[in-house]
């Protein structure tokens, strides 16, 4: 039993490597079970999941993905437009209160604070 390699945790990479070994004919299922310490039932379950995932990956429609990306870009552009409009509306609403755009070199907080009396008065 010197060739046994048992693992406490079966990562997806380990499972895939074993499945590929079997598919390439490098080892049989019973040999892999003995060597790595899992059951044939576990192997069948892993292989079924592996095949399902592979089939789904092959079904990917590149045009569909591009359409999804374009739709997401349009959605995000619309959201940006909405946020810009909300910001403009807020600025307009603040203008009658004297809370509009600060003068150059002045922060919004500075524009809200009362001005000290000037020395010229």
Per-domain boundaries in the chain:
12-58, 61-94
- Distance in angstroms (rounded) separating the CA atoms of residues 44 and 94: 67
The answer on pLDDT for 1 being more than 80 is no
41-71 pLDDT, tens digit per residue, is: 999 999 999 998 887 777 767 777 888 899 9
Average of pLDDT values for 29-35?
A: 95
- Whose structure tokens read 């959605």? 75
76-106 pLDDT, tens digit per residue, is: 999 999 999 999 998 888 877 766 555 666 6
Q: Report pTM.
A: 0.45
The answer on pLDDT for 35 being more than 80 is yes
In whole angstroms, how large is the CA radius of gyration of the chain?
33
Of 102, 83, 100, residue with least CA distance to 91? 100
């Amino acid at each position: 039993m010197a060739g046994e390699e048992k693992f406490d945790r079966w990562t997806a990479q380990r499972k895939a490597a074993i499945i590929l070994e079997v598919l390439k004919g490098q080892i049989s299922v019973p040999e892999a079970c003995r060597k790595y310490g899992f059951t044939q039932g576990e192997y069948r379950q892993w292989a079924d999941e592996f095949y399902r995932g592979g089939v789904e990956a092959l079904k990917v429609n590149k045009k569909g993905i591009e359409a999804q990306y374009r739709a997401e870009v349009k959605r995000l552009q619309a959201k940006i437009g909405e946020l810009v409009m909300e910001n403009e509306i807020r600025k307009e609403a603040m203008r009658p209160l004297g809370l509009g755009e600060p003068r150059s070199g002045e922060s919004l907080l500075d524009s809200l604070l009362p001005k000290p009396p000037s020395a010229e008065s």
